[in-house]
Structure 1
Amino acid sequence: MKKIVIIERVPLFSIVMKELAQTVYPNSDVSVSGDVAQVEATLRFDADAVIADLHGELAEQQALMSEVEDAFPRARKIFFLDHLSPEMQQTADEQGSLLICRSHSYRDVLTSLSEFEKSATAGLDRNLTRNEYQSDIQLPGVDKPLTLKQAMVMDLVIQGLSGKQIARQLNLSPETVRAHLRQAYERLRANSRSQAVANYLMAKRMANNLVEM
């Protein structure tokens, strides 16, 4: 039985999201919560899909996307929001998640969800191939490579730069750098800076060897 997590604080919309989830994932176990932390401890590695509603400004939306990515690294992720923007689409592409505009019709939403699930079931990402935001650096046994931004951040970590220095050099906010580092550590199966550096260097050598072959 698939386990589906819905992150939504508005009761009325959570009912709609639950109905969608049960249509796309029949006979699934659906959990509804208003907060990521409430369900993270029990379903971190068991959730098959997470459906969340994004509110607020761009930074708040990206922060919630990063929080969901950190909390449920193996789950497929679907986010609802008011307006699609290039910045949000890039973040979604980096994660391999799906963005759906709330103004879309119920039928269009259902179609998007069904197609996303079919792609995931076939073992493919959202674009059916490694997308333009993904690097070739991937640790063996991990299903996602680092994104280009995560690789750029790790390259600067190796040089000994602090988070604030990395933010200035890449023209990013410190919060965005921290989010990239959290996700990079997750994809590098690292619990410390030294372990992340060691695993990153190993994965990068492997990627370079593949390119040279």
Structure 2
Amino acid sequence: MNEGLPSDVDVPDGILLAGYFVTAPELLAGSGMPRTERLITASECLSDRLSLGGCWFATAREALAACLLFQLPAEARLYALLVPSEHVGGFVADIRAAGTDEPVLFAHLDGRGVGQAARKVAEGGHELGWEVLGYDYGLLHSWLCNDLYDDGVLSLGVGTNEHGLLPDRDSAQRVAAWANACGDTKPVTWFPGALIEWDTPIESRPGPATPETAPSAPQPWWRRILQL
């Protein structure tokens, strides 16, 4: 199977896949935060992530297979985090300094394993936006959970979309550089990352039975992955 991004998603060279994860949109409201009912983030601080011995998956197939073991919200979707290559060094250095076990992230990013260019992630995804993240002892923090949003908007003139994400790479690069110059955040190396979403509903452990039977539909892409 060719696991390339569709031609309408512009992924330049030099952007690497960090890993896949599964989550559902979250309500985000509060002082110093953008208000959104559909926050999507790779940060474990702000989202409830599917976890099976870790919340990162090396392939879309592994992530979708794990979903079958859990009862997930109907809104849960598959996502991938992509990181520009020039920011990978700081990310990996923080993982190593923490001494935590991150086999998926290491395999994709540190050059020793099965490193993948972003163009080889699973078919059918679309870019949601960019965020600014930093790794700290097993967790990915977001600039949003470090009280940086209001000051970032004021200082840099950036804004977020309906998912709480920055609109483009340039905005995320500027926020990351600014956050790294601040002295009152988590002691992390902030980096920009893009989120790719697959909007096909995910099959998970069924909930209570209902009398209604859904009409038959064409086989979705994620089932084709599981059958390979």
Q: Do the structures match in fold with TM over 0.5?
A: no
Structure having the larger proportion of residues in strand: 2
The structure with more helix, counted as a fraction of residues = 1
TM-score (norm 1): 0.26
